[in-house]
Amino acid sequence: MNAEEQAMLELARIWAPYGGARPGDILVEFGMSPARFYANIARILRTNAAVWGMPSGERHQIEENAARYSAHFVSA
């Protein structure tokens, strides 16, 4: 996992209990839409052995936020 992926995952982790990172924070920090950000988060969670040890509750919250943002911005 590179430094940008680590920073993305950290932002997603911090904001997971609150429904996910705010779109403005995502744009300022990473220069991308929430849909793209959470698509990257989903990929990181699927493909990175470094996150497999993450507590399941925390991982589940992040996955739920990613699914919600993806569904919201695809249907909007």
Per-residue pLDDT for the chain (76 aa), expressed as one digit of tens each?
Answer: 899 999 999 999 999 999 999 999 999 999 999 999 999 999 998 887 767 788 888 889 999 999 988 765 554 4
Structurally, how many domains does the chain consist of? Answer: 1
Domain hosting 48: range is 3-75
In a 10 Å sphere around its CB, with 0-12 CB exposed, 13-18 middle and 19+ buried, how is residue 55 labelled? Answer: exposed
The structure's pTM equals 0.83
Q: Is the CB of residue 32 less than 8 Å from the CB of residue 24? A: no
